[in-house]
Amino acid sequence: MYQNRVLSVGAEFPAFSKKAVVSLEKDQEFRTITEQEHRAKDQWLVMFWWPKDFTFVCPTEIAEFNKNYDEFRDRDAQLIGASTDSEFVHAAWRRDHDDLRGLRFPMLADTSKSLAEELGILDAEEKVAYRVTYIVDPQGIIQWVSVNGLSVGRNVAEVLRVLDALQTDELCPCNWKKGEATLSA
């Protein structure tokens, strides 16, 4: 029986250098992205994965992350979406889907599946990524991981709430929200 060994909290996020769709402008569509970008800028990294392009649940999540792009930027976090589809499939999907044309974050293409494999997030049968979200601190250490099955979309507000809590560097109680009191040790 296949068992995922999801890279989790406290581990260093793996090194990567991958093509990504960053624009729909001719000759400016693609750029190589590395894990070093957020570290060089002393930023947090929020990377979220979806199983397949041209599906039903995935664009709802991607659009919601895009609606909240400024929220992530205001928290000094680099936002990256990713799947195991190619950069060409990502670009075609963005051109084809009304909700994806105006994306402000890169769509990373892990066509070799090497990063997804190293993260331990591939579905055993289909070899596509689960709906996984990573929050990585500016030093490259994973601080939060959330994994959903293939059919269930995630809650972007919860990703922001957890990012806020992690950035306080304090004890945050259940259901804590930005602006509320933290706990003293």
Could you say which DSSP state residue 98 is in? G
What's the order of all strands across the beta sheet hosting 44-49?
30-34, 17-21, 107-109, 77-83, 44-49, 131-136, 142-148
Instruction: Tell me which of 33, 46, 58, 160 is the catalytic residue.
Output: 58
- Core vs surface per residue 54-81: b (16+ CB within 10 A) or e: eeebbbebbbbbbebeebbeebebbbbb
Distance CA 136, CA 37 (A): 12
- Token pair belonging to 93: 């999907």
* 174 tagged catalytic: no
Give the residue numbers annotated as catalytic, written as ranges: 58
